[in-house]
Amino acid sequence: MKIIGIGIDLEEIKTFQDHLDSKNTRFFERVFTKDEIEYCQNKPNPAQHYAARFCAKEAAVKAVSSITSAVITDFEIGMKEQKPILKNVHGSTNVLDAYNFMVSLSHAGQYAIAQVLVWEK
């Protein structure tokens, strides 16, 4: 197994709660997909889920930075069998077809964190 990249990101959940409190829906619509917004909004504490997904998108960008110039809006964080997965949103990068990805999310207290590992198929 040849590792291509690893990315990690940490965010304060309060940042996302502030956006929710201010009713700043434009931020969420710009950064997250419709499915991500629906997933987060259906949780008791949406801010921690938004923060974790944002971290995963940032971590994915970092993990693939040596092979493509992806941006966070190129990716969606979905769930499969209760595990987070990375999806390609706009088709602007085909890295999801060419490589394997592992996504890990966590949130506790004031912070959310995510890590993404990329390796050759």
Q: What is the pLDDT of residues 45-99, one digit of tens each?
A: 999 999 999 999 999 999 999 888 888 998 999 999 999 999 876 655 577 778 8
Query: What residues have CB less than 8 Å from 65, skipping those under 6 apart?
Result: 5, 7
- Among candidates 33, 12, 15, which has minimal Cα distance to 24? 15
**Digit-coded pLDDT (tens) for 96-112:** 778 899 999 999 999 99
Mean pLDDT of 19-40: 94
**Digit-coded pLDDT (tens) for 4-14:** 999 999 999 99
Q: Which pLDDT value is given to residue 31?
A: 95
Q: Which pLDDT value is given to residue 1?
A: 83
For residues 28 and 89, which has the higher predicted lDDT (pLDDT)?
28
CA-CA-CA-CA dihedral for 99, 5, 51, 49, to nearest 10: 40
Q: Which pLDDT value is given to residue 91?
A: 58
Q: Which pLDDT value is given to residue 92?
A: 53
CB 6 within 8 A of CB 116: yes
Q: Which CATH class is domain 3-120?
A: alpha beta
pTM beyond cutoff 0.85 = yes
